[in-house]
Amino acid sequence: MDFELKSLSLAQAAQLPCDALLVLVPDARPAGKPASPLEQLMAQAAQAGDLDTAVGKQLAAYRPEGVKAARVVLVGVGNASVASVRKAIAAGLGSLKLPAVKKLALVLSLLDADDNTVRAAVQTAADVSYVFTTTKPSAKPRALRQVVVGVSQATQVRKGFETGKALVAGVEFAKEWANRPANHATPSHLADAARKLGRHARIKTEVLGQKQVEALGMGAFLAVAQGSAEPLRFIVLQYSGADKASAPVVLVGKGITFDTGGISIKPAAEMDEMKFDMGGAASVLGTFAALAELQPAINVVGLIPSCENMPDGRAVKPGDVVTSMSGQTIEILNTDAEGRLILCDALTYAARFKPRSVVDIATLTGACVIALGGVRSGLFSPHDELALALQQAGEAALDPCWRMPLDDEYAEGLKSNFADMGNVAGRAGGAITAAKFLQKFAAELPWAHLDIAGTAWKGGAAKGATGRPVALLLQYLIDQAAQAPARKPAGARKAGGARRAKA
């Protein structure tokens, strides 16, 4: 999907050769005699009482006089806030999902558009038109091929436009891999996707297999993987956008490519949705796809422990005790609490990068869905500055999260008579006790945990991955890049980065 940013007046938009114009009309509009065909159309509609500028209200016209586009949709955008722009475009594009609409102009010329507005417009156009076709040959692919974003002054919002394009690349990469069925998205497939990202400038990929993970002593990760015929993979991505001495942000994504629950098997109903249990891994891959496009001045490491959680004869059993990479032992009281087991070893591994911050992203608990639904991701961190930065990034990117408590008392239920800790602590406060478990492996790190179990995908008739929280993560990295030392010219530094290896 191609995007183009142009400075367009309403008169110029009327003469633009395209299949459809989507014109956003705010409550407040310039006064004066209507001069262009679009202005005349709006004036006539307003005089007749047919132009409603409430968010999402629409008025469609076919081949209006003086306009080159065959279809024009006027859509109300209310006070023209970023959230209103997103809702208005989503509503307007819903009526333009037609095979004939291949080139569309989003006309924002009546708005006082800023970087955030333009970014939201680009992202929404991609979201609404997205179609998954990889395993569905009968699906009609996306008809919309080109989108022109028209604003009053293109030079003033170029940054937001470029960020929006990078975000689309990242979100759609995450959606693609999260939507794939588990037999089309095994740990090995995820590793191949990561290797392809490693072909981009400044990105290097390393993939560790069974023997290397055993050598690292990742006993918790190995325990989850041992019940599956699919080999595990531990994926390490490195993006080098700043000077080598600049400490990286480490993103850790849960990569359970299918979760049966193991011996503590899940109910059959909706178990197919457990292909989405690698949503955290997909968000890390998507963020790196966005980094490849945007090239911000920051160093980022992505860690993805990936395996299946299956119930065969070799599977880990309730009551088994395993030793994590940190040396702490874990009594596995419930094999369906597997995500925290693979993440805890990855968090220990993360410490070797001496990171400026570590953020793990996981479809971790149903309890978080009960607490926050599908609106906000759960945010857990003992570090106020890091938590605030993530919250602000989420609000700016319209990918919000909500900070949850981490009182020490919540960890009481993790005590075990047979190991340093159990992997569950009962149903009460389940999202919090899961975070308290992870905190035991991140005590020395500037760490935050995002529970995306409610936000990574939708069920029902709209079943599919959302691509969240790629927008939040990318905005956080952009914000951090503003504080990071600039990268030295390539000739002034030695070649570095992760070695490439085949698992």
Q: Which residues are catalytic?
A: 266, 340
Q: The tokens of 147 are what?
A: 């989108």
Compute the distance between CA of residue 224 and CA of residue 498 in angstroms, rounded to an integer: 26
Q: Are 306 and 236 in contact (CB under 8 A)?
A: no
Residue pair 150/137 in contact by the 8 Å Cβ criterion: no
Q: Are strands 146-151 and 203-208 parallel, antiparallel or unpaired?
A: unpaired
- Residue 168 vs residues 3, 164, 174: alpha-carbon distances, Å: 10, 6, 10
Residue 97: CB atoms within 10 Å: 13
| Buried/exposed 11-49: b ≥16 CB within 10 Å, e otherwise | ebbbebebbbbbbbbbeeeeeeeeebbbbbbbeebbeee
Report residue 118 as tokens.
């333009």
Burial class (CB in 10 A: 0-12, 13-18, 19+), 456: buried
Q: How far apart are CA 334 and CA 215, in angstroms?
A: 26
Distance CA 191, CA 208 (A): 9
Residue at 355: amino acid letter = P
Mutual orientation of helices 158-179 and 470-481 as an angle, nearest 10°?
Answer: 140
Q: DSSP letters of 362-429? A: E---HHHHHHHTTTSEEEE-S-HHHHHHHHHHHHHTT--EEE----GGGGGGG--SSSSEES---STT
Asked if residues 323 and 270 have their Cβ atoms less than 8 Å apart, the reply is no
Strand partners, 237: 205, 302
Nearest to 298 by CA among 494, 451, 41, 486: 486
